[in-house]
Amino acid sequence: MQKQKRITAIHDISCFGKCSLTVALPIISAAGVEVSAIPTAVLSTHTGGLTGYTYRDLTEDILPIIDHWQSLDLTFDAIYTGFLGSFEQLDIVSEVFKRLKTSENIIVVDPVMADNGELYKIFPPGFPAGMKKLCTQADVIVPNITEAVLMLDEPYQEGPYTPAYIEALIRKIAALGARQVVLTGVHFDREKLGAAAYDSHTGVVSYAFSDWIEGYYHGTGDVFASALTAALLTDIALAKATQIAVDFTVGSIARTKEAGTDIRFGVNFEAGIPDLMKQLGL
């Protein structure tokens, strides 16, 4: 048996409403990869469309966790970050990257902060500039179109998009420093929705689409980025990893829609795990 890969996932834990760590842990574990969690905050629910949530900030715990891990000589094949609750956490996670980065591992940043043209209400207006700085340390970035334009300080445009627009946008994001960029929310018509993937070593942009399912389902960005990370750690090439992540996410949305579940409660990704494992060759 090969040595098991290990990653650390740095996200909040929203106790209800599947997203962030409650999504990243099971999906990446399903790929046979060990996940060490660093919770950035504990919330009773996520903040998307739900009000009255509790919020316990864990900023002060992050570096002591790393100190302890370093005393144990722990190493990681990837460092994967998602929702970060404050400017201070951006600086701390930057420090975590400096401490845990090696020539062999990858840093995956999902710059969770916005969607549908709007910054999430919990974040101050300067947050995208801070997230942009963090992205300069990443090997792989997984923004949606809103997050990409906010980091580039460009106006948000509604789709459908053109390949020329998407390819220019993805190259500008890659110029921040990441080798690979996967841009979500890409569509050239109202029939298909998916992602574009760019590898700056080859200069190639590839697309992964699926049938468009109407409705805004919460937590799908985390389902997508977790499945993508799982596939990349299984040594699947970027274009195929992106298609696997699109199919897994869309399957989760379809099941949830069919069940008539509240769109704020998260998607049924669990039932898709056996197929995901098959796609990953496990």
């840093």: which residue's tokens?
Answer: 107
Cα separation, 101 vs 99, whole angstroms: 6
DSSP 233-259: HTT--HHHHHHHHHHHHHHHHHHHHHH
Q: Does 110 bind ligand PXL (CB under 6 A)?
A: no
Task: Single out the segment in contact with ligand PXL by CB under 6 A; choices: 11-19, 57-65, 189-197, 252-260.
Answer: 11-19
SS3 138: coil
Nearer to ligand PXL, 48 or 143 (CB): 48
Q: Which of residues 71-90 bind ligand PXL (CB under 6 A)?
A: 83
Q: Does 20 bind ligand PXL (CB under 6 A)?
A: yes
The closest alpha carbon to 176, from 118, 230, 109, belongs to: 109
CB of 191 to ligand PXL, least distance (A): 26
CB of 259 to ligand PXL, least distance (A): 20
User: What's 18's DSSP letter?
Assistant: S
Q: Are 213 and 251 in contact (CB under 8 A)?
A: no
Q: Does 112 bind ligand PXL (CB under 6 A)?
A: yes
Q: Does 248 bind ligand PXL (CB under 6 A)?
A: no
Nearer to ligand PXL, 69 or 248 (CB): 248
Nearer to ligand PXL, 80 or 207 (CB): 80
DSSP 48-99: SS--S--EEE-HHHHHHHHHHHHHTT---SEEEE----SHHHHHHHHHHHHH
Q: Does 120 bind ligand PXL (CB under 6 A)?
A: yes
Nearer to ligand PXL, 19 or 244 (CB): 19
Question: Residues in contact with ligand PXL, total (CB under 6 A)?
Answer: 14
Q: Does 13 bind ligand PXL (CB under 6 A)?
A: no
CB of 219 to ligand PXL, least distance (A): 5
User: HSE (CB half, 13 Å, CA atoms) of 231?
Assistant: 26
Tell which phi-psi region holds residue 270, choosing left (phi > 0), alpha (psi between -120 and 50) or beta: alpha
């500008």: which residue's tokens?
Answer: 172
Nearer to ligand PXL, 216 or 274 (CB): 216
Cα Dmax for the chain: 52
């739900």: which residue's tokens?
Answer: 50
Nearer to ligand PXL, 17 or 194 (CB): 17
Neighbours of 234 (CB within 10 A): 18
CB of 11 to ligand PXL, least distance (A): 7
Nearer to ligand PXL, 226 or 234 (CB): 226
Q: Which of residues 41-70 bind ligand PXL (CB under 6 A)?
A: 43, 46-48
The type of residue at 116 is N
Site map (CB under 6 A) of ligand PXL, residues 196-225, x = contact: -----------------------x-xx---
Interacting residues with ligand PXL (CB under 6 A): 12, 14, 19-20, 43, 46-48, 83, 112, 120, 219, 221-222
